[in-house]
Structure 1
Amino acid sequence: MITITALTKRYGRTVVLDRLSMEVHPGRVTGLLGPNGAGKSTTLRLLLGLGTPTSGTALIDGRPYRELRRPLHRVGALLDATAVPGGLTGRHHLAALARANGIGRARTDAVLEEVGLAGAARRRVAGYSLGMKQRLGIAAALLGDPAVLVFDEPANGLDAEGIRWIRLLFRRLAAEGRTVLVSSHVLSEMQHTADHLLVIDRGRLVADAGTAEFTARSAAVPVLVRTPAPDELRRVLLEAGARTTPEADRALTVHGLEVSRIGDLALAHGLAIHELTPRPTSLEEAFIALTAPAGGKD
């Protein structure tokens, strides 16, 4: 399990992480979300011993990463797929990591096959596309067959088939009882991949919930309203504080009012309603509703 407790990181007067506390449990895919500058990458770097916190702790099974012996057997990570010397072949890169961690050659071949790079293993990394480099980074993370896996933007450069493959891979790893933490800006994909979400904004945890729960409790649930009098209903709803978007066939999408409130307003003003349907909130809508008011930036 990953346990982060009161983790703080300052650069001069700038506070990047502000007493951040959270847990990542095994057996599920956990998504780490947040606006740019929220502290996601800093959190992962501190977790993996690539920086020193100002205060607080980031532990893997109760120990700092730097204290792990042969860490690839315990933790696999992908933070930057391009951070591989271009002159190495894919096989040589993995073989060097394997030797340093006491991992046999057969495992190198196995992970190259698993990520779909067996046919490109003897090519130099400089000739790899970004998607191929991502696959090589995932192979390196899997090399020691670890119980904990950490990925930062792993879908960058992958095509549609690659994104589907990585989604299924993460789900399988979690189903095997591993701890899988994925930081990503691709919210539409995270909605289909992550079982649980941790959302940070300005260095603080602002949400810790299952993906379905997170989207369901969002105040941004839109409602499709179909009426023979859209202009009249729109004026009524605007006066009540709603936001509306015109749709085809004399319909409106309404934001900011619950279904029951919309129906009551229409009845009070004698306006007929032919359809009143809540639309499922996307992860993107819920995320923006939570982080934008707090000052999140693109």
Structure 2
Amino acid sequence: MWPTARCRAGVADGTVGRVIEVNELTKRYGGTTAVNGLTFTVSPGHVTGFLGPNGAGKSTTLRLILGLNKPTTGSATVDGRVFRDRPRGLRHVGALLDAHDVHGGRTAAAHLSALARSNGIARRRVDEVLREVGLAGAARRRIGGFSLGMKQRLGIAAALLGDPPVLLFDEPINGLDPEGVLWVRGLFRQLAAEGRTVFVSSHLMSEMENTADQLIVIGRGELIAAESVAEFAARGTRLSVTVRTPDAAALMAVLTAEGASVEPGGEESLTVTGLSAARIGELASHHRIVLHELATRSSSLEEAFMELTADSVEYLAGEPR
């Protein structure tokens, strides 16, 4: 059974999470601008999702925050300091950027022990985090034989090793089974509840809808939105109306004649766009069509994301043949 609770409740140095501040951040590679004048803040106490189409600059931004790349202009700081200037960095920020970026010949315990020694972290933390992520039984196994899901768990263990107040994760649920996804979801919420700053990059809208409180959304390296999940979803303009009726075919003909777009959703269910719920009710009443349900549905997070980032998508698929 995978663990579901944190093994520790506090942050190593007794403080709560610290703020990540990105200010007019720009990164160019030759003639390509990966990040362009990006400004946002990630605060403690929330799970903040980091969204954007492929090629939007998410991974580059995370690397700039961690000091793995140097900005062309602008700054990225954690608690007011550039992260690369901090000694024993794992005590301040934990990160998972690439689950494959580990030495396959080492065991899980050896990998974490090397990180602990270089960051002045007690050896007992290795055993603690391996238990926490469900890898205690695989501690002496070589990482090269791990599945992607196991490597993700090991990467999360490395991020937690220094008990840091700030945590960054890039696509952390890739390769995890459904039980593992639920565990990660609970872990992130618990870390945020402890007052830590939790910043999670993902391309899975459903996961962000279930996990994140706040969102940072970028496209082509520029900021699109910095707000709550609910606020972002509400920015989508696509409203639809769900209708259930025993006379679905008759109602569909009436609504289509009125210019609505109607999609069948089952024997008695229709999804209608282009007409308000009130107008649908009036038409049904006029034609003596019985309704069992009439409900307006706003845009989902995925629908809002697709709509608001449409101009920022680098690669578009063609029409199906």
| TM-score for the superposition, normalised by structure 1 | 0.91
Following superposition, the deviation at residue 4 of structure 1 comes to 0.4
Residues 261 and 229 from structure 1, CA distance in 2 versus in 1: closer, same or farther, beyond 3 angstroms?
Answer: closer
Structure 2 equivalent of residue 201 of structure 1: 219
In the alignment, the residues of structure 2 paired with residue 257 and residue 74 of structure 1 have an alpha-carbon distance, to the nearest angstrom, of 53
Indicate which of 235, 255, 277 corresponds to 2:257: 235
Does residue 225 in structure 1 map to residue 225 in structure 2? no
- For 1:229, what is the secondary structure of its paired residue? helix
Distance 1:258 1:217 in 2: 18
CA distance in 2 between counterparts of 1:225 and 1:32 reads: 35
Residue 244 (structure 1) aligned with residue 262 (structure 2):
yes
Structure 1 match to 2:132: 114
The change in CA–CA distance for 1:203 and 1:258 in structure 2 (over 3 A counts) is farther
Runs of 4+ displaced beyond 6 Å:
none
- Give structure 2 stretches of 5+ with no counterpart: 1-18, 317-321
Give the structure 2 partner of residue 289 of structure 1. Answer: 307
User: What is the count of residue pairs matched by the alignment?
Assistant: 292
CA displacement 1:193-237 (0-9 Å, x = unmatched): 101111111111111111122223421232113464311311313
Aligned partner of residue 71 in structure 2, secondary structure: coil
Which residue type is aligned with residue 251 of structure 2?
A
Confirm or deny: 8 A CA contact 1:201 1:296 kept in the other structure: no
Deviation at 1:297, TM superposition (A): 3.9
C-alpha distance after superposition, 1:137-178 (max 9, x if no partner) = 000000000000000000011000100000000000000000
Q: Map Cα deviations across residues 111-148 of structure 1 (whole Å, 9 max, x no partner).
A: 11101111100000001111110000000000000000
Alignment of 1:272-287 (within 5 A): 274=291, 275-279=293-297, 281-287=299-305
Partner of residue 144 from structure 1, selected from 137, 145, 162: 162
Describe the shift of the 1:292–1:271 C-alpha distance in structure 2 as closer, same or farther (beyond 3 A). Answer: farther
Per the alignment, residue 43 of structure 1 pairs with 61
2:15 alignment counterpart: none
CA distance in 1, matches of 2:106, 2:78: 31
SS at match of 2:33: strand
- Counterparts in 2 of 1:1-298, with a 5 A limit? 1-226=19-244, 228-238=250-260, 243-249=261-267, 251-255=269-273, 258-260=276-278, 266=283, 270-271=286-287, 274=291, 275-279=293-297, 281-295=299-313, 297=315
Identity within the alignment, %: 58
In 2: Cα distance, 1:175 partner to 1:2 partner: 17
TM-aligned CA deviation for residue 66 of structure 1: 0.8
In structure 1, the gaps of 5 or more residues are none
The equivalent of 2:14 in structure 1 is none
Structure 1 CA distance, aligned partners of 2:225 and 2:195?
24
Matched AA of 1:13: G
* Residue type of the alignment partner of 2:186: L
Distance (Å, rounded) in 2 between the aligned partners of 1:9 and 1:123: 39
